[in-house]
């Protein structure tokens, strides 16, 4: 533990190199082996493990935070921090941002935009955050440029910001019971985007809490990675780890953007709404790992799953009796399990629903299905670049469409009843409980299912 000047506690552990090495090795043996070979460069440096409770700020509006014991956070640049933290972790945005490694659990880069949550990437155990500015600095140096690195606009909390439960949880009396049982003071959620506030408050009242540890490297190391040739092997290893997490955005996205626009032209989708076309573009981006979809939560990696389920099913708390509180979380497409996109929870970057002329979600779903069918037909049969990210995405997945009132007489068999989801995907099932097939997420959702070879 460390203390700031008003004696509030920070859950931070300061390690020397020998103590940090096994922590790194446990989640990324390759980096640990590389660092061990060059341990003479690291032996005098301090390392820092910071424990973030669920929902606490890690990066917010371009600022990096430590969590305070008892809740809240404090900037890495706050002058009241102990000298060892200011000397080793204070920073200038875009110049020497703190670099950290996730030691456990998963988080989500996101942006809040006009009441929506735009999800960018899931960050897994062993991945590195804050490393892009080092890559940019070295690239600019090789190109002879003097250019300040771009500061990320994406926020990061501990765990999943965009997680939510499927059934409605906004009944006044039941929410009041939950507040009383757990001693929390959070207003009832009126939308899916507000559910994680409840999860965070619940986590803060239990022990042990859901915690995400991050190992931060000192800024001296970040500086040396940029300027000292001796550190090149460590730089290359860390850069490789970084790129694995954000692969399409580093080198493939400009080509992906060009290819998808070319396919839209050739597939003659100009007659459809720009909103439906942008949704299709986002579906391909999900498969190409440029953005996560959603999936039912099956473990504690992104949030305190059991705590949330207990809070909403306990008869002395919220007391759901019919619908199981199935939790949805962001999930990267992994060629193993299906992920979902929902018209009711629009997470795409290019959000322009005003361009859609229809009046119903099923009309939009039908239009998306038509655009996607045209694109798939062209990509699979006429698109020539078989090495492109877009082609690889198109051959990896199949799509299914769901609505609570599919109207087969009007829409044919292309759109299924959302009540079928728990039969097709066991992750939605809970024996003895009903499935909320009319919830806003599934009454207009698209399944992206991997094609297994």
- Assigned domain for 136 exists: yes
Q: What's the pLDDT band for 141 if we cut at 50, 70, 90?
A: low
The mean per-residue pLDDT over the stretch 219-239 comes to 92
Residue 8 lies in a domain: yes
The yes-or-no verdict on residue 5 having pLDDT over 90 is no
Instruction: Give 371 or 145, the one with higher predicted confidence.
Output: 371
Least confident of 68-82, 139-153, 159-173, 344-358: 139-153
For residues 98 and 205, membership in a common domain is answered with yes
Phi, psi at 136, each rounded to 5°: -60, -45
Mean pLDDT of 372-391: 95
Cβ atoms of residues 291 and 119 within 8 Å: yes
On the question of pLDDT at 250 being above 80, the answer is no
Per-residue model confidence (pLDDT) at position 216: 97
Number of domains comprising the chain: 2
Backbone angles phi, psi at 363, to 5 degrees: -65, -40
Q: Tell me which of 245, 275, 302 is where a domain ends.
A: 245
How confident is the model at residue 9, as a pLDDT?
75
Query: Per the domain annotation, does 262 fall within a domain?
Result: yes
For the chain, what is the mean pLDDT? Answer: 92
Answer yes or no: do 411 and 373 share one domain.
Answer: yes
Q: Which domain holds residue 378?
A: 247-292+332-450
Instruction: Say how far apart CA 150 and CA 139 lie, in whole Å.
Output: 13
Residues 216 and 119 in one domain: yes
* Predicted local distance difference test score (pLDDT) of residue 441: 96
* Confidence (pLDDT) at 413: 82
Report CA torsion sign: 212, 307, 341, 288.
positive
What's the pLDDT at 10? Answer: 84
Are 278 and 208 in the same domain? no
Q: Kindly state the percentage of the chain with pLDDT values over 90.
A: 80
Residue 163 lies in a domain: yes
Residues 222 and 172 in one domain: yes
For residue range 15-53, list pLDDT tens digits in order.
999 999 999 999 999 999 999 999 999 999 999 999 999
- Looking at the structure, tell me whether residues 216 and 259 fall in a common domain: no
Whether residue 21 sits in one domain with residue 106: yes
Verify that 222 and 259 share a domain, yes or no: no
| More confidently predicted of 70 and 75 | 75
Choosing from 208, 227, 245, the residue where a domain stops is: 245
Q: Predicted confidence band at 315 (pLDDT cuts at 50, 70, 90)?
A: very high
pLDDT in tens, 402-419: 999 988 777 778 899 999
Q: What's the pLDDT at 143?
A: 53
Q: Give the confidence band of 103 by pLDDT, cuts at 50, 70, 90.
A: very high
Same-domain status, 237 and 367: no
> In the predicted model, what is the mean pLDDT of residues 361-384?
96
Do 233 and 280 fall into the same domain?
Answer: no
Q: Which of 147-161, 169-183, 379-393 is the least confident region?
A: 147-161
422 pLDDT more than 60: yes
Structural domain contains residue 19: yes
Flag whether 286 is in a domain: yes
Is the model's pLDDT at 110 over the cut of 70? yes
327 lies in some domain: no
Q: How confident is the model at residue 152 (pLDDT cuts 50, 70, 90)?
A: low
pLDDT number for residue 358? 82
| N- to C-terminal Cα separation, the chain | 50
Lowest mean pLDDT among 238-242, 309-313, 319-323: 238-242
Residues 180 and 51 in one domain: yes
Same domain for 239 and 251, yes or no, is no
Count the Cβ atoms, other than its own, within 10 Å of residue 8: 14
State the Cα–Cα distance between residues 42 and 36, nearest whole angstrom.
Answer: 9
Q: Predicted confidence band at 93 (pLDDT cuts at 50, 70, 90)? A: confident
**Mean pLDDT on 6-13:** 80
Position 253 scores a pLDDT of 84
The number of residues in the chain equals: 453
Q: Note whether residue 45 is domain-resident.
A: yes
Identify which has the larger pLDDT, 168 or 412.
168
pLDDT at 444: 94
For residue 135, name the pLDDT band (cuts at 50, 70, 90).
confident
Residues near 314 by Cβ (< 8 Å), separated by ≥ 6?
A: 181
Q: Which residues contact 424 (CB under 8 A, 6 or more apart)?
A: 400, 447
| CATH number of the CATH domain containing 154 | 2.60.120.10
Q: Please, which pLDDT band fits residue 144 given cuts at 50, 70 and 90?
A: low
Instruction: State how far the Cα of 350 lies from the Cα of 338, in Å rounded to an integer.
Output: 23
> What per-residue confidence (pLDDT) applies to 191?
94
The reported pLDDT for the residue numbered 142 is 54
Give the pLDDT band (50/70/90) at residue 97. Answer: confident
């Amino acid at each position: 533990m460390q203390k700031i000047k008003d004696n509030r506690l920070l859950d931070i552990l300061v390690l020397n190199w020998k103590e940090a090495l096994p922590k790194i090795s446990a989640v990324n043996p390759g980096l640990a082996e590389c660092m061990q070979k060059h341990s003479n460069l690291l032996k005098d440096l301090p390392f820092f493990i910071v424990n973030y409770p669920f929902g606490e700020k890690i990066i917010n509006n371009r600022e990096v935070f430590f969590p305070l014991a008892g809740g809240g956070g404090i900037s890495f640049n706050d002058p009241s921090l102990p000298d060892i933290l200011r000397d080793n972790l204070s920073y200038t945005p875009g110049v020497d941002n703190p670099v950290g490694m996730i030691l456990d659990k998963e988080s989500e880069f996101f942006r809040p935009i006009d009441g929506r949550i735009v999800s960018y990437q899931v960050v897994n155990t062993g991945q590195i955050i804050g490393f892009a500015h080092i890559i940019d600095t070295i690239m600019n140096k090789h190109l002879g440029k003097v250019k300040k690195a771009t500061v990320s606009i994406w926020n990061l909390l501990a765990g999943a910001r965009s997680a939510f439960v499927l059934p409605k949880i906004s009944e006044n009396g039941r929410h009041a019971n939950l507040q009383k049982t757990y001693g929390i003071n959070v207003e009832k959620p009126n939308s899916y985007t507000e559910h994680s506030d409840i999860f965070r408050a619940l986590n803060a009242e239990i022990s042990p809490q859901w915690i995400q540890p991050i190992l931060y490297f000192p800024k001296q190391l970040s500086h040396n990675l940029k300027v000292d040739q001796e550190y090149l092997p460590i730089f290359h290893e860390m850069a490789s780890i970084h790129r694995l997490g954000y692969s399409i955005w580093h080198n493939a996205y400009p080509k992906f953007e060009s290819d998808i626009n070319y396919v839209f032209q050739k597939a003659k989708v100009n007659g459809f709404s720009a909103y439906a076309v942008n949704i299709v573009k986002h579906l391909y981006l999900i498969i190409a790992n440029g953005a996560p979809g959603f999936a039912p939560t099956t473990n504690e990696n992104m949030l305190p799953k059991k705590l949330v389920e207990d809070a909403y099913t306990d008869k002395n708390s919220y007391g759901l009796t019919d619908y199981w509180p199935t939790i949805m979380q962001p999930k990267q497409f992994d060629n193993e399990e299906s992920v979902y996109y929902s018209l009711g929870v629009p997470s795409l970057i290019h959000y322009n629903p005003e361009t859609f002329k229809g009046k119903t979600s099923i009309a939009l779903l039908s239009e998306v299905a038509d655009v996607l069918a045209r694109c798939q037909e062209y990509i699979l049969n006429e698109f020539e670049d078989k090495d492109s990210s877009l082609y690889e995405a198109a051959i990896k997945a199949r799509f299914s469409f769901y609505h609570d009132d599919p109207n087969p007489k009007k829409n044919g068999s292309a759109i299924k009843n959302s009540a079928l989801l728990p039969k097709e995907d066991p992750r939605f099932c809970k024996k003895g409980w009903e499935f909320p097939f009319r919830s806003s997420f599934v009454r207009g959702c698209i399944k992206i299912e991997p094609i297994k070879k």
